Structure 1
Amino acid sequence: MGHASEVSVEKLAKEFQPILLEDERIERAYKLIRDMLVFTNKRLILVNKQGLTGSKADYQSIPYSSIKTFSMESAGIGDLDAELKIWLTGEDTPTIKQDFRKGDNINQAYRVLSKYVLK
């Protein structure tokens, strides 16, 4: 899938406004070529752009309550190349694996997961 790059939450507000709940807000978002990982205060949204032009998109919502385990693998705690893995309930292997490149703070994504999964 490639490396994830952080995307400005303000840039996504208009695109996601029709599908967000009244009290839901985007916490962090990461773009993966055309696809995205969007962390809100309610769920993780996976956006899969389809077709040659990417004009068709699949939005998959994963409630934080469905995430049973998550991990971060890197050379250190800093902003080095790292991988985020997420296991969903009922799965023995990570359902979501995403690489983050240096400078895109995987720690922020990890904190959002911690905040909502571990409550």
Structure 2
Amino acid sequence: MIDFNTTFTKMDDMGHGEANTLLDGLLLDGETVHAAFTGTRGWVAFTDRRVIIVTAQGITGKKKDYTTLPYSGIRAASVDTTDGFETDANMELWIGDLGFSGLVGVATPCKIRLEFVPGVDVRDLERFVVDRIL
């Protein structure tokens, strides 16, 4: 499983075709990829049912970890932009019931931060995610 409370940097549009090829055999019957982004040592796919996060493991990066986050587990989503939506933008997904604070048995939300390269339309991505969590 991925290390939650982590940041994925330099996320750029991967394209549906490449994501579908890389996820061959992992997608459920009828599941479709809405958007996919590749970055430093990992990539993220947003399907109509879940978020799939793929991270490279080890020194060579040949071993892969595939983590599924159902939209029902996402408690909040936020988008940050520096100067309008045409420049670098970030998205944070807050996932509940995965981590624990210093108090035994008290769950606290975990966060995944996606830092996108200029040109990625995060408004469309946020609308897509929010439509599934509300």
Whether the TM-score (by the shorter chain) exceeds 0.5 is yes
Note if 1:114 corresponds to 2:121.
no
Instruction: Pick one of 34, 37, 60 that aligns with 2:41.
Output: 34
- In the other structure, the counterpart of 1:84 is 91
Question: 5+ residue gaps in structure 2?
Answer: 1-7, 98-106
Instruction: Pick one of 73, 78, 88 that aligns with 1:71.
Output: 78
In structure 2, C-alpha distance between the alignment counterparts of 1:77 and 1:117, rounded to whole Å: 25
- In the other structure, the counterpart of 2:68 is 61
Which secondary structure does the structure 2 equivalent of 1:115 belong to?
A: helix
Shift of residue 50, structure 1, vs aligned partner: 1.1
Task: Tell me the TM-score normalized by structure 1.
Answer: 0.88
Q: Which runs of 4+ in 1 moved over 4 A?
A: 91-94
Matched residue count:
118
Which secondary structure does the structure 1 equivalent of 2:129 belong to?
A: helix
> Percent identity over the alignment?
25
Shift of residue 93, structure 1, vs aligned partner: 5.4
Q: Which has the larger radius of gyration?
A: 2
- In the other structure, the counterpart of 1:11 is 18
Task: Tell me the TM-score normalized by structure 2.
Answer: 0.79
Shift of residue 77, structure 1, vs aligned partner: 4.7
Question: 5+ residue gaps in structure 1?
Answer: none
RMSD of aligned C-alpha atoms? Answer: 1.7
